[in-house]
Structure 1
Amino acid sequence: MRGIRARLVIHFGLILLLIVLVLEGLFYWAVHTYYFGTATETLVTRSTTFTNFINKYADSYHLRDKARYILENVSKEETAKVEVLDLTGKVILNSYGFQTAEVIETPDVLNALQTGMGLYVGKSPYTRERVVAVSNPLVYMGEQVGVLRYSISAEPLYAAVYRIAMYGAGVGVIVVLFAFTLSLIIAKRIVGPIQELTRAATQMATGNFSARAKKQFNDEVGTLAEAFNYMAAEISKNEQMKNNFISSVSHELRTPLTSIKGWGETLISGGLEDKEETMLGLEVISKETDRLIGLVEELLDFSKFQSGELKLSTERLDLRDIVEDVRIQFGLRAQDEGIDFFVHIPPSPVPVQVDPNRMKQIFVNLLDNAFKFTLRGGSIQISCQTDETHVKVLVSDTGEGIAPKDLPHITERFFKGQSKRSGSGLGLAICKEIVHLHGGQFSVSSTLGKGTTVTVELPLAQSLTPEEKSV
């Protein structure tokens, strides 16, 4: 009873067996009622008709004369046993021409003496044979003087009913066996796909993420198999992305650490006597340290997103202030790399309810990517567009762009594009999550070889403060 298949077969079999037993019982009752009802009705009709005939045309005969008259007028084709009884139930004469000392006190005789007609279906007191008997009163000059009793053996009726019941029971057994076989097939069709899912899940649990469940039928289990295969594909893809990410992060961490170690050994061996070389080494160490800090911060942020522990500390502010801060921060870099850097902000305040540090993190990350993929002589610009409810900040560049096949996945975690300058694969994913936590939308559009535009859409604060109105 532990398996679904066993429970299905047993429960289905018990229900079907109960139904067959009920139907068999109803069938036996119907056959029994039909056979005995027909036989009884026929016997009652013949007995009553003949008794009325005798009482009408032999009314003046005494009981013994009536008995002889009855014997003479009984049809030769009559199959029932005809008996004439006196008021004590003693048999005076039967259809075989014998007078016996037998006294019959069955209910049909007693009812005939009391109410006018009696019917009895049961065993004969003397022969223990099952019989059907009908008794009617005989009258002489208007007074009851005896009983005319018709009786037939019920054994052939019982035999016929039993034979038909056995046929019905045989059909019932065949139906139960057929249904049992059918239930096995149905249970297999139900349990088979589940076992297939279990097999695939077990393989996945052992690390085989390529395992797939075969969809066998277009039903709920088939839909579950499709969902399982989709989940398996996503897990496999995420596993591959995770492996790529680990490989990439390992490389990203190794590169600055190698530089820091190399310059550290160079400075130690040089004894810090060459000031210019020392300053160059310290500058490289500082930059590589910043790279390490950035990677660690991305990993920490990603870990917080995964665990749901990232909390925003929002406040009402003018978004233009954040944009101005990043303009100052990246202005010198633009000059050093020979890239035109433009910032277009509206003249009126742009009130938003945001976490300033996280919002600045978004724009720093977006601008860092833009500078990373834009060659000398290119341009980068930040622009703001506002309506009644939202503000859109667009960060555009004329860099190398993103391949069409990579664009739909560029904001997925661990995803790294084909470019050699790709980072850890977490920057845009983190930016997107932060924007969503602020109730905004994040989107990326790009044309390969022409540039990329990232759009950050945020809801505006509900109303302006007095200070903002006075500006």
Structure 2
Amino acid sequence: MKLNSITVKLGGTILILFLIVLFPLIYTIDQLFSSYFYSQKMEQIDFFATKYSETITDVNDKESYHMFEMISELNNVDLFIFNNKGVILNSTGLLNFKEGKSVGEIIKNPIMNKQHLSIEYNDSKTSQTYLISGEPILINNRVSGGLIVVSNMESINTSIAHMRSWLMISVIGSLLIAIGFTFFISRKLSAPLLKMVHATREIATGPLKTGLSITSNDEIGTLAKAINELGRELEDFRSNRREFFANISHELRTPISYIKGYSHVLKNSLYRNEEEKKQYLDIINDEATRLTTLINDLFELSKMEEGRLELNIEALDITNIVISSINKVNLKANEKKIKIISDLPITTPLFHTDGYRLEQVLINLLENAIRYSDDGRAIMVKVTNDQNYLYVSIVDQGVGIPENDLPYIFQRFYRVEKSRTRVAGGTGLGLAIVKNIIDLLSGHIEVQSVSGAGTTFKITFPLKESGDEDE
């Protein structure tokens, strides 16, 4: 396992966080237990000092001290009594507090002022620390002396040492458990990431469709789904790009071949008469026009897909746009004796759109209807609306579209019958352009068709400002 791997970094981070929490906690527990032992011992000797000072009726009566030795042994403490002059009258023999010696001012003054005494005393000779508790001996409400209880800190230090030993054992055990737990968790958390790294490397080197089987509902699962979707989209993009280049090369090759072939015939005067010459020139002109249309459609579609198509949004009447579109395609319709019937309401609400682009959509759909309708048929253009939406329907009686082809007709270069489309003069980009423009205008287009009976395109626009986001 590499030291710079995500598993090590994640595990190290978790372990460091654990230690950051653990050590202050251990320190706090140590201080709490130390304070507890100290306060318990201090309360104990305070209780002895208070209790036994009340039993003494005369500091000079040594007969009343006969219980001191027994009390000292039973409670593991030492005691001594001094009079109001600070002279020790009786002692169990601890430290320098011997009978006949005087106590220091730090002990005497609080007692003589009728105050309770609780201090730590450090013996400079033995370097040991003692707890001292003292109470004044009151006779007739006058201080006759003081009773001092002294406890060695050794028992407290022993208890604290035992407690710290157990704490250390607990820390070591916790660290071992934490290391194992951290390793397990870091492997568990990093495993999906490592799978995603492997999947993205596969995507980078060739195979685009990945099969990440990460089903969690957290951010890791979301990222895995995104990588799977990215792989599918890249695979689709690769397929579409391959198909696009195949289609565009074919679409360009055909008119170029015609132009090259017939120009060669004309250049070398291989025609029989002027009529045949004119026929070849017409073919060259038609193919040049078709080539120009293809290039223009490609350029416009590219701008739409990249979001670079500028829209001129304004409030317009849909009926005017429909009438204008019909007028522009009537010449082609008349050539095939096709009648375009319009069903327009007397009044329609104004709605915000780009009139030029909407007319481009309608002309494209009408030309498609004319192109794939037999001579003498009819095309219906109908406009309706309700409170929220505006509807435009174009219904033809043409050859129709097979049901299996309907989901794909808005894709670039998709053709239902390629040979028929080529004869009809289509580029295979018209419906793709229509779909992109309607999306930019915040509209929706749907198609219904029965093969051999005709096709209906229905466009829906919301009665609000269309295409605001693209303005």
TM range (shorter): 0.7 to 0.9
| Paired amino acid for 2:381 | S
What does residue range 87-98 of structure 1 map to in structure 2 within 5 Å?
Answer: 87=84, 89-95=86-92
| Paired amino acid for 1:49 | K
Partner in structure 1 of residue 328 of structure 2 = 325
* 1:360–1:151 CA distance, 2 compared to 1 (3 A): closer
* 1:442–1:216 CA distance, 2 compared to 1 (3 A): closer
Between the aligned partners of 1:185 and 1:87, the Cα distance in structure 2 is: 72
What does residue range 16-31 of structure 1 map to in structure 2 within 5 Å?
Answer: 16-31=18-33
The CA deviation string for residues 345-373 of structure 1, in whole angstroms up to 9 with x for no partner, is 24777888876664554344334444555
**1:400–1:448 CA contact under 8 A, matched in 2:** yes
**2:68–2:79 CA contact under 8 A, matched in 1:** no
Partner in structure 2 of residue 162 of structure 1 = 161
Pairing partner for 2:340 from 340, 343, 359: 343
Between the aligned partners of 2:427 and 2:121, the Cα distance in structure 1 is: 98
**1:416–1:424 CA contact under 8 A, matched in 2:** no
**Per-residue deviation, 1:394:** 0.7
Between the aligned partners of 1:242 and 1:153, the Cα distance in structure 2 is: 90
Between the aligned partners of 1:344 and 1:288, the Cα distance in structure 2 is: 32
Is 1:119 matched with 2:122?
no
What does residue range 135-146 of structure 1 map to in structure 2 within 5 Å?
Answer: 135-138=134-137, 144-146=143-145
Between the aligned partners of 2:270 and 2:385, the Cα distance in structure 1 is: 62
Is 1:153 matched with 2:152?
yes
Between the aligned partners of 1:397 and 1:345, the Cα distance in structure 2 is: 15
Between the aligned partners of 1:46 and 1:195, the Cα distance in structure 2 is: 69
Q: Percent identity?
A: 22
| Paired amino acid for 2:444 | Q
**1:106–1:120 CA contact under 8 A, matched in 2:** no
Query: Could you tell which deviates more after superposition, 352-361 or 290-299?
Result: 352-361
Partner in structure 2 of residue 258 of structure 1 = 257
Between the aligned partners of 2:434 and 2:141, the Cα distance in structure 1 is: 118
Is 1:366 matched with 2:365?
yes
**Per-residue deviation, 1:306:** 2.7
**Per-residue deviation, 1:244:** 0.8
Partner in structure 1 of residue 50 of structure 2 = 48
The CA deviation string for residues 65-121 of structure 1, in whole angstroms up to 9 with x for no partner, is x33541366436533223233455554443369955655428445422332542233
**Per-residue deviation, 1:323:** 0.6
| Paired amino acid for 1:295 | L
What does residue range 430-449 of structure 1 map to in structure 2 within 5 Å?
Answer: 430-449=433-452
* 1:238–1:371 CA distance, 2 compared to 1 (3 A): farther
Partner in structure 2 of residue 469 of structure 1 = none
SS in 1 for 2:283: helix
**2:321–2:355 CA contact under 8 A, matched in 1:** no
**1:259–1:288 CA contact under 8 A, matched in 2:** yes
| Paired amino acid for 2:458 | T
Pairing partner for 1:384 from 382, 385, 394: 382
Between the aligned partners of 1:287 and 1:40, the Cα distance in structure 2 is: 112
Q: CA RMSD in A?
A: 3.8
Between the aligned partners of 2:235 and 2:86, the Cα distance in structure 1 is: 98
**2:321–2:358 CA contact under 8 A, matched in 1:** no
Partner in structure 2 of residue 297 of structure 1 = 296
Between the aligned partners of 2:83 and 2:312, the Cα distance in structure 1 is: 116
* 1:326–1:460 CA distance, 2 compared to 1 (3 A): farther
SS in 2 for 1:31: helix
Between the aligned partners of 1:19 and 1:359, the Cα distance in structure 2 is: 66
Between the aligned partners of 2:206 and 2:282, the Cα distance in structure 1 is: 45
Between the aligned partners of 1:108 and 1:10, the Cα distance in structure 2 is: 55
* 1:418–1:48 CA distance, 2 compared to 1 (3 A): farther
SS in 2 for 1:390: strand
**2:369–2:379 CA contact under 8 A, matched in 1:** no
* 1:203–1:373 CA distance, 2 compared to 1 (3 A): farther
* 1:211–1:263 CA distance, 2 compared to 1 (3 A): same
The CA deviation string for residues 382-407 of structure 1, in whole angstroms up to 9 with x for no partner, is 33233467351414233151333x32
**1:366–1:395 CA contact under 8 A, matched in 2:** no
* 1:310–1:115 CA distance, 2 compared to 1 (3 A): same
The CA deviation string for residues 320-351 of structure 1, in whole angstroms up to 9 with x for no partner, is 2321331222321x25xxxxx23112477788
| Paired amino acid for 1:42 | Q
* 1:72–1:348 CA distance, 2 compared to 1 (3 A): closer
The CA deviation string for residues 140-180 of structure 1, in whole angstroms up to 9 with x for no partner, is 78764543332221111111022113312432343355345
What does residue range 174-213 of structure 1 map to in structure 2 within 5 Å?
Answer: 174-206=173-205, 208-213=207-212
Query: Could you tell which deviates more after superposition, 233-242 or 201-210?
Result: 201-210
SS in 2 for 1:287: helix
The CA deviation string for residues 429-469 of structure 1, in whole angstroms up to 9 with x for no partner, is 1012223444543221123454322234568999xxxxxxx
Between the aligned partners of 2:146 and 2:355, the Cα distance in structure 1 is: 117
Is 1:428 matched with 2:431?
yes
**2:321–2:359 CA contact under 8 A, matched in 1:** no
Unaligned 5+ residue runs, structure 2? 466-471
Partner in structure 1 of residue 224 of structure 2 = 225
**Per-residue deviation, 1:222:** 0.5
* 1:447–1:183 CA distance, 2 compared to 1 (3 A): farther
**Per-residue deviation, 1:253:** 1.3
**1:109–1:135 CA contact under 8 A, matched in 2:** no
| Paired amino acid for 2:285 | S
* 1:115–1:418 CA distance, 2 compared to 1 (3 A): farther
Between the aligned partners of 1:288 and 1:426, the Cα distance in structure 2 is: 16
